[in-house]
Amino acid sequence: MTKPLLEALSLRPVPRPPVWVMRQAGRYLPEYRRLREQHSFQETVSTPELAAEITLQPVRRFAMDGAVIFADIMTPLEAMGVALTFDPGPRLSPLTLKEVAGLSPLVPDEVAHVAETIRRVKSEVSEETAVIGFAGAPVTLLSYLLEGGGSKDFIAMRAALRSEPVLAIEALANLSYSMSIYLSVQEEAGADVVQLFDTWAGLLDAAAYERFAMPAARSCLEGLGIPTIYFAPGAGHTLGVQQGVGATGYGVDWRVPITDAFHLLDGHPVQGNLDPAVLLTDPATIAEEVDRLLSRVGGRPGHIMNLGHGIDRRTSPENVAAFVEAVRS
């Protein structure tokens, strides 16, 4: 049996675009909320039985073409000695660039629970469903580490890259090394594809992106033997150089016209890029927007249908079902 997601990443024609949704395992599903009433977020991530169950919930409901592992981009940082809490986003004591550069490299045994989650999911999904692992890209992880949590502008990271560029590159290299180990662990456990999330790289100007974010992301993906996807929302101004990351395919957010993405990423598969807000409307509108997007794609090989960002927690499961059905029909 072929996996449509892998076929699309190989630029082979498929009867319809494969479809999955970023953050598809999570808060919009009532079965997830029921499970979380009994278990904390960190408990669910660190317990393979729970993490696998959460991963499988949307696959069972919607028969997605991809089963993205339930974890967090901060998960491997805990294995590097970073003390974290979630409330609901990550909270930690801010580090300096020197402290990030000195973090201990990730030890594979410390993320054995993620590997076990992947093995459990792999044994449960159909042969057509691709198991998707992921990691956070170095610039994005550095943003949280320097800030101590979430931020709208991550100005501490942007300032640090300019004030201490040599040390910043050293810190990013340390994160790249550990993320490459983390992704390799997921590959060895059976992941069919991995996605690198560079959520905050779009805050950088084009020159800083090329100097810092792009080479750090590339180092994470080098040497992997499975297809890879790179996704940097809000970074449309860098699409012309993103191929330097060396990924198999590239995700784009809803602000980038899909035709522009195919042009700028010539020769690479493109993932996306329906606005997540569309799923807060109604089934008829969803069908119209999906049709409009797929008309722009024009049947090109190498398109993976997804949202242009993670699914909003207020989305109704019925609207997700309408989205998937619209793609399939």
pLDDT at 196: 98
Q: Report which of 14, 24, 41, 183 is spatially closest to residue 114, judged by C-alpha positions.
A: 183
| β-strands 303-304, 270-271 pairing | parallel
pLDDT at 174: 98
pLDDT cut 90: percent of the chain above it? 94
In the numeric block, which tokens belong to residue 136? 């956070």
DSSP 280: G
Q: Say whether pLDDT at 87 is over 80.
A: no
Query: Residue for token digits 């069919």?
Result: 192
Which residue range is the domain that position 275 belongs to?
A: 4-328
Q: State how many domains the chain has.
A: 1
CB neighbourhood size of 146 (10 A): 24
Q: Say whether pLDDT at 40 is over 80.
A: yes
Query: Residue for token digits 């980038």?
Result: 256
Active-site residue numbers?
A: 23, 27, 36, 72, 144
| Average of per-residue pLDDT across 191-199 | 98
Q: Say whether pLDDT at 107 is over 80.
A: yes
Query: Do 197 and 143 contact (CB within 8 A), yes or no?
Result: no
Q: Is the dihedral of CA 276, 282, 285, 286 positive or negative?
A: positive
The CATH number for 162's domain is 3.20.20.210
pLDDT at 149: 80
Please state which of the ranges 78-92, 129-143, 200-214, 232-246 shows the lowest mean pLDDT.
78-92
pLDDT at 92: 85
CA 245 and chain centroid, separation: 15
Q: Which helix (H) or strand (E) holds 119?
A: helix 112-124
Please state which of the ranges 20-29, 146-155, 257-266 shows the lowest mean pLDDT.
146-155
Q: pLDDT of 137-159, one tens digit each?
A: 999 999 999 998 888 899 999 99
Question: Where are the extended beta strands (E) located within the chain?
Answer: 66-68, 85-86, 90-91, 130-136, 193-197, 228-231, 249-251, 270-271, 303-304
| Average of per-residue pLDDT across 167-185 | 98
233 pLDDT band, cuts 50/70/90, is: very high
85 pLDDT band, cuts 50/70/90, is: confident
Amino acid at 203: L
Query: Do 117 and 52 contact (CB within 8 A), yes or no?
Result: yes
Residues paired with 304 in a beta bridge? 271
Q: Report which of 6, 134, 9 is spatially closest to residue 74, judged by C-alpha positions.
A: 134
Q: pLDDT of 272-285, one tens digit each?
A: 999 999 999 999 99
pLDDT cut 70: percent of the chain above it? 99
| Average of per-residue pLDDT across 261-273 | 95
CB neighbourhood size of 245 (10 A): 24
Q: Say whether pLDDT at 227 is over 80.
A: yes
User: Model's pTM, two decimal places?
Assistant: 0.97
